[in-house]
Amino acid sequence: MNGFKTTMLLAALTALFMGLGYTLGGSGGALIALLVAAGMNLFTYWNADKIVLRMHNAREVDAASAPEFVGMVSQLATRAGLPMPRVYIIDDPHPNAFATGRNPENAAVAATSGLLNMLNRDEIAGVMAHELAHVRNRDTLVMTMVATIAGAISMLANFGLLFRSGDNRGNMLATLLAVFVAPFAAMIVQLAISRTREYGADRGGAEISGNPRALASALAKLAQGAARVPNQFIDRNPAAAQLYIVPALSGRGGDSLFSTHPDTQNRIDALERIAGEMGLHSPPPLFDQPARRQSAVPSSTRARRGSALDPLRRK
């Protein structure tokens, strides 16, 4: 169903682009805009992982520097049928994670130190399984296609304003409506595709980890933590909000048209339904230790006590 929704939304974006080109009446300008936007996004597609990881000051870790975390990702990747991705840790108190890379063979997953401090082992496994599901579903490729078409629409709209500003021929009202409405509509469709991919990654993460309720618990904690701790990277680069497993700022009012992510409670409810579907036939959790309750003591005290993942953070 998520794949069908994504296909329909991509078709809507394409139709919107073609409609805008028809309204402006310049097939040559539409082609130039599409080629330029495609070139920009192709560059981003090939280099997005390097750009994003560098901007986050992410540090790559391996089995020597972070054996527990890297071993966890390795086991999850095996269960997902994926090559081992590169693994990164971001020294940032904001709790979040993301995946990047143009295909499974060139993928990378990253988690912040804030996330590793906040979650228990099963919850971290659920989060990393979610990110590996993004890799398996090739969501980076899908979102690059979306960005290409949405970028072409915006560029064509700008060209329309530039070349039509002194032209009184044709229906100027239709042209102005198309120029202003098309980019807005493209943004809504782009956000809708992003939300659809999150639901798909939640389901995939539940299947890979075998523990949908651990992922649901992680989402609840991360949404609360992300709302409390500012994300300086998103303040500078709001377009990157789609990268993360939870939005940088908690949203309200369900799956808003203007949100990059589904409402967290909706995602938790969906994971509960998945847990019910899996029933007694679900595979055993990858990590079967009982989940630890988050301590009620102050964060400063928890920091002094440390956690199971402290060795990888000290490396």
Enter the tokens of residue 208: 């890979």
Annotated ligand binding at 261? The verdict is: no
Closest CA to 75 of 287, 307, 315, 288: 287
Residue 94 assigned as binding residue: no
**Among the options 60, 123, 131, 207, which is catalytic?**
131
Spatial distance between the Cα atoms of 50 and 37, rounded to a whole number of angstroms: 20
207 is in an annotated binding site: no
Distances (CA, A) of 267 to 96, 246, 250, 315: 16, 10, 13, 34
Q: What is the DSSP letter of 106?
A: G
Query: For tokens 């169903």, what's the residue?
Result: 1
Angle at 212 between CA 58 and CA 89, to 5 degrees: 10
Q: Are strands 108-112 and 86-90 parallel, antiparallel or unpaired?
A: parallel
Helix (H) or strand (E) holding 53: helix 27-55
- Does the annotation count 131 as an active-site position? yes
Annotated binding site for Zn(2+): 130, 134, 198
- Residues belonging to the active site: 131
